[in-house]
Structure 1
Amino acid sequence: MPVSFGAAGDIDVVVSPGSRICPRGWAGIVLLGEAAIVTAPSREAADRIRTAVAGLPVDRLTDPESVGRVLPIGEVLGPAGLAYVADDGFRPAAAPTGLRVEKAPAGHVDLGRPERLAGAADADEAGLDEMSSPVFVVRVAGQVVAAAGYREWPGRAAHVGVLTAPAWRGRGLARATGSSAVGHALAQGLLPQWRARVPESRKVAAALGFSELGSQMCVELV
């Protein structure tokens, strides 16, 4: 469903059963700056949401407690911060000494091992199986231990996903693979977007020059 962010304070609720910003049947909320977009799975749900959030400040739309007070909701995904970087703010990062980042076509790299080691929640958050870009990986003894890529979203946004096997975290591999994905996106004229819930991921984004400009949350309607 075509929709754009409005003026400061605007909350645009649209009916979009196939919205890709939330699970099917849920409501997806994206806040950027001082405006918000909400996708609803049906016209009835959209009417409920418009009525419920009419008196809610825009900056509280991605706060689960605030939304839960005005709208009956079940499970919640997020909130997650949304950060962006342009050419002039990007700070590339190299792989640690002795390692290198390799580039491979999407779907041509076995990412099963790092996804299994990281667990379903982290693997789903990274979304590496949905990437439209090449995949940038670091291998140790022939095994992928870190990977990154991006999926092109409407509006020429490049939604970056990064995943590192737990035993290899804290060594700069997320920065290195993420840097390669971001550099590739910028070279294609895209705007890299980094979505992160955990502080460690937000720190990686900040190290690469990203600025957090908004947030995202998905709610199950009951």
Structure 2
Amino acid sequence: MDGHQIDIIRLAWARELGLPDRAFDDSGVRHVRIDDDADRIRFVTLAGSTALVGPAWAVDRAEDRSDNDLARSGGLLALAKDHSGRCSGPVALAWAADFGKSVAVEQPLVSHDLEHVRALESACPPDDVAEAALTDKANWFTVLDDTHRPLASAAFREWQGIIADMGALTLPDARRRGFGATAARLATNDALDAGLIPQWRAHRDNVASRRLAARLGYEELGTVVSVAVTASTV
């Protein structure tokens, strides 16, 4: 990623978190925004800078905790111990800067039909389906076999007007054969062609997804952890 692309990513995340546009420009600084109406606490690391957004009680409790501690699911969850916290993450964030010229499957049969995406989801584990969230996106690229059975799909949705939030899903018995990489390559190139910066999210423990992103040229530059909370009972 070059400096201009990183600045765009910083801008998108600053806007997502309700921070000043240039907040993430300051490396080594933790940016904090109190939102007492928030139903979650979010901690984001991005290219050397961090941000924490949540209710005042959470911000107060985080004051003496290190960035490394808050970037762990257990660290952020500890802030919400009396607020029924439910943690999502940590999720690795990666971005792609360049078009890919090759695909793993030559001359793939590709569908842009949502029904093929839904058929693929029905044949995949629920956790994988939830992480990819393909039906929440658009611009689908689904690789089919000769019988039109969906093998893998990738898609994106425009996020903050400048980022393409990606997702990818592969049929369990079709993995490690290049179908997922092909679908994701096509979707990534389409996002770049639309003038967006592709963004890949993968749970830190999802090694397969992170390796796929790396093969496609995505560079990990951040993480996000989120804890859903309710009002204090104290």
* TM-score over 0.5 (shorter chain): yes
Tell whether 2:35 aligns with 1:27: no
TM-score calculated relative to the size of structure 1: 0.82
Give the residue type in structure 2 aligned to 1:171.
R
| Offset of residue 103 of structure 1 | 4.8
Cα distance, 1:208 vs. partner? 0.8
In the alignment, what sits opposite 1:2? Answer: 18
- Per-residue CA deviations over 1:174-200 (Å, capped at 9, x if unaligned) read 111111111011111111100112000
Task: Extract unaligned runs of 5+ from structure 2.
Answer: 1-16
Q: CA distance change for structure 1 residues 58 and 83 in 2, over 3 Å: closer, same or farther?
A: same
The two structures, once aligned, show a CA RMSD in angstroms of 2.3
> Which aligned runs of 4 or more in structure 1 are off by greater than 3 angstroms?
37-40, 68-71, 90-93
Distance 1:143 1:30, change over 3 A: same
Mapped pair 1:75 → 2:86: yes
- In structure 2, what residue type is equivalent to 1:138? V
Distance, in Å, in 1 between the alignment partners of 2:66 and 2:151 is 42
The 1:147/1:13 distance shift into structure 2, 3 A limit, reads same
For the pair 1:61 / 2:70, whether they are aligned, the reply is: yes
Q: 1:39 to 1:103 in 2, by over 3 A?
A: farther
* Matching of residue 215 in structure 1 with residue 223 in structure 2: yes
- Among 108, 111, 124, the alignment partner of 1:118 is 124
- TM-superposed deviation, 1:57: 2.2
Matches within 5 A, 1:23-172: 25-40=39-54, 46-72=55-81, 74-87=85-98, 90-97=99-106, 100-104=108-112, 107=114, 109-132=115-138, 134-140=139-145, 141-172=147-178
Instruction: Report the number of matched residues.
Output: 205
Q: CA deviation at 1:104?
A: 1.9
1:13 aligns with 2:33: yes
* Structure 1 residue ranges without an equivalent (≥5): 19-24, 41-45
Q: CA deviation at 1:114?
A: 1.6
User: Which whole-Å deviations, capped at 9, do the CAs of 1:182-221 have from their partners, x for residues lacking one?
Assistant: 1011111111100112000000110011110001122132
Normalised to the residue count of structure 2, the TM-score between the two structures is 0.78
Q: Counterpart of 2:189?
A: 183
- Measured against aligned partners, the alpha-carbon deviations of 1:105-139 in whole angstroms (never above 9, x if no partner) come to 6x4x332222122122111110111113x210111
**CA shift at 1:155, angstroms?**
4.9
Give yes or no for the alignment of 1:203 onto 2:208.
no
User: 1: distance between equivalents of 2:202 and 2:89?
Assistant: 9
Query: Are the counterparts in 1 of residues 33 and 52 from structure 2 also a CA contact under 8 Å?
Result: yes
- Per-residue deviation at 1:165? 1.0
